Amino acid sequence: MEKLKIAIQKSGRLSEKSMKLFEECGISMNNGKRKLVATSPDFPVEWLFLRDDDIPQYVYDGVADIGIVGENEVAEKDYNINIVEKLGFARCRMSLAVPKEYEYSGIDWFDGKKVATSYPRILENYFSEKGVRAEIHQISGSVEISPAIGLADGIFDIVSSGSTLISNGLKEVETVMNSEAVIIGREGLNEAKQAVLEKLLFRINAAQKSRKNKYVVLNAPNNRLDEIIEMIPGMKSPTVMSLADEGWSSVHSVLKEDEFWEVIDALKSKGAQGILVIPVEKMIV
Ligand code: PRT
Ligand code: ZN
């Protein structure tokens, strides 16, 4: 079977989670990532390990069929490639920041100013959309120190916790875009590769759904059973079994991660006891 070629970051913030994604899909790697290329004994894929900056181009050129990269790199490179799937890790935002002592009045503040960044294209598009005329100074690293050394008035960079900005005396003033890791793909995969990609996406979806859901087991007093069942509808409906102790039932269901704490509190207030929450390994709906 023809192999789907997948470009992933060799080492950096994306690499570990990218590898883990395949592991969760039951796809193992033959030779470690010390090499340039790896294959799998159990799935028709081949990985290429690259710098993240190069991944959009490799996919666009067809050297790789798909790749895992931050949305920020996709936007900066601006090739005609598709985002096939959002992966939910390596979340960050791309923001403008200025020295904290400056009074920032709004985006017009940047008119006539100098801004340092490693992402000139995203910034240029943003400024032109906002009608701001600023000088963009492209540098490849340590963007956050440029105001302090007199290289620029402000910066445009990746922000995650915000602590790098704070420790460099900067404040975030505009968020230009949000980013997370995504799978990018090129147009025109042949039928065989498209079939492998679909199989892979099916597995990724199952793994992602499982991460967003928890399996809950609890004991419910029979006189509040209806109310409790209503709160945890599950995939179809909960499983209810009688306990040896009369007047009580055991309820099994699936609960979404984001509503988890709220529902647990409400369940307790309805008299639920012995609540167990178990991770779901795979979820096929
Ligand atoms: O060597 P290679 O070119 O492959 O890697 P790289 O050094 O260019 O990229 P890498 O591994 O640092 O980041 C890869 C991707 O992770 C980025 O393109 C983003 O999509 C995503 N990502 C998520 C981040 C961050 N969070 C992040 N915090 N990339 C960089 N940072 C840096 C940021 O530049 C800043 O210096 O961390 C600092 C800010 O962090 P906070 O938490 O202090 O705000
Ligand atoms: Zn990079």
Domain 213-279 sits in CATH 3.40.50.720: no
Domain boundaries, the chain: 4-89+180-210, 92-179, 213-279
pLDDT at 15: 95
pLDDT at 32: 65
Per residue in 141-172, pLDDT (tens digit) is 999 999 999 999 999 999 999 999 999 999 99
Determine which residue's CA is closest to atom 7 belonging to ligand 1. 12
Tokens 């100098």 — which residue? 114
201 pLDDT exceeds 90?
yes
111 pLDDT exceeds 70?
yes
Tell me if 153 CB under 6 Å of ligand 1. no
- The closest of 9, 26, 16 to 284, measured between CA atoms, is 26
* Mean pLDDT of the region 114-126: 98
Using the mean position of ligand 1's atoms as its centre, give its distance from the Cα of residue 90 in Å.
8
* One fold for 92-179 and 213-279: no
Q: Is the dihedral of CA 75, 79, 83, 88 positive or negative?
A: negative
Tell me if 90 CB under 6 Å of ligand 1. yes
**Ligand 1, atom nearest to 143 Cα:** 36
Q: Are 155 and 97 in contact (CB under 8 A)?
A: yes
Q: How confident is the model at residue 237 (pLDDT cuts 50, 70, 90)?
A: confident
* Mean pLDDT of the region 47-75: 97
pLDDT at 150: 96
Ligand nearest to the CA of residue 71, numbered in listed order: 1
* Mean pLDDT of the region 14-39: 89
Determine which residue's CA is closest to atom 22 belonging to ligand 1. 90
Mean pLDDT value across the chain: 94
* Mean pLDDT of the region 48-77: 96
Q: Which fold has domain 4-89+180-210?
A: D-Maltodextrin-Binding Protein; domain 2 (3.40.190)
Q: Which fold has domain 92-179?
A: D-Maltodextrin-Binding Protein; domain 2 (3.40.190)
